[in-house]
Homo-oligomer: A and B are copies of this chain.
């Protein structure tokens, strides 16, 4: 068995509302650690945390590595492409080897959906999903929820719009899971080609018109438009996408004065957001990054506590 109860973080669907709230509460106290002069607590001294990444991702890898180091854990980077996988070894074989070295936690990012679940089912160390294919990115959703709660005091009842390529976005998928669980009213907004058919059954609304969500949303969460998607058949043109779904100073006037603008980064400036909006006073993009370290410290701390039982 795998899942939050047994020491893994694979997908927010494995967590109850109480689990999520407990993570956000724990993260609050860890956020303070990173502002200290000595940014370090001994909580995970003598534990080993391995970052097993098959996709390049500086910000997520660095965020986890810092989180682990600030808890005094030993960290180790394994970049899957540079590794024995080139000898035809499967990622499961590789992970079994890492397990055999008595590591405590494996943070895994992989381009194929489901890889973290496969590892969690097979292995004793805790597994944290740091993003798998189009499936889930639970710590990103947790840090997004932490940020919303910090800025607006609550999540219950808030109107949150998620804007862009919902279809291919693990960030969207995990946020939908988490935000609806915590009582937010989620509306998805994007071209019809980029919104999964029938997704309303998950308790969200759908619109293809940015104006619909601009006026009364408390939070506007923009998704990155992947370069590869721009060259596929999903969009008539990037220019058209920007006109319809991009946010600039002009359109921002229609929104609530204190609307919270989020983006998982890196922003394509001039596409999802104009530069002035990305850097503007409603944007919390860099606060999301700061909170990422705190949330990941909380997740590592809580999971390794479970594993010790």
Q: Answer whether residue A76 sits at the interface, using C-beta atoms and an 8 A cutoff.
A: yes
Closest Cβ–Cβ distance, residue A219 to chain B (whole Å): 19
Q: For the complex, give the distance between the alpha carbons of A50 and B48 in Å.
A: 19
* B69/A65 in contact, CB under 8 A: no
**Stretch of A18-26, A38-46, A131-139, A240-248 lying at the B interface:** A38-46
Q: Shortest CB–CB separation between residue A47 and chain B, in angstroms?
A: 7
* Contact across chains for B100 and A266 when beta carbons are under 8 A apart: no
- Copies of this polypeptide in the complex: 3
A83→B96 CA distance, assembly (Å): 27
Contact B76 A39 (CB under 8 A): no
5 shortest A-B CB distances, which residue pairs? A38-B46, A58-B83, A100-B289, A89-B266, A40-B46
Given pairs A58-B82, A66-B103, A88-B227, 7 additional interface contacts (CB within 8 A): A38-B46, A39-B48, A40-B46, A59-B84, A62-B98, A97-B286, A102-B293
Q: How far is the CA of A87 from the CA of B55 in the complex (A)?
A: 12
- In the assembled complex, the CB of A64 is this many whole angstroms from the nearest CB of chain B, namely 11
Residue pair A100, B66 in contact (C-beta under 8 Å): no
Are B87 and A227 interface neighbours, CB within 8 A? yes
A residues 74-122 in Cβ contact with B at 8 Å? 74, 76, 78-79, 82-84, 86-89, 93-94, 96-103
**Contact indicator per residue, chain A 285-302, by CB within 8 Å of chain B (1) or not (0):** 011011011000000000
- B40→A45 contact, CB < 8 A: yes
A175 at the interface (CB under 8 A from B): no
Is A169 in the interface zone, CB < 8 Å from B?
no
A268 to B97, Cβ gap below 8 A?
Answer: no
Docked complex: A225-281 residues within 8 A CB-CB of B: 227, 265-268
Q: CA–CA, A127 to B130, complex, Å?
A: 29
- Interface hit among A29-37, A157-165, A187-195, A209-217: A29-37
CA distance A61 to B200 in the complex (A): 48
Residue contacts A-B, CB under 8 angstroms, 26 given: A34-B102, A36-B46, A37-B46, A37-B308, A38-B45, A39-B102, A40-B45, A48-B66, A58-B78, A58-B84, A62-B98, A63-B101, A65-B76, A66-B74, A79-B82, A87-B266, A88-B227, A89-B266, A93-B266, A96-B286, A97-B265, A99-B286, A100-B286, A100-B287, A101-B293, A102-B293
A183 CB–B CB distance under 8 Å: no
Which of chain B's residues has its CB closest to A103's CB?
A: B66
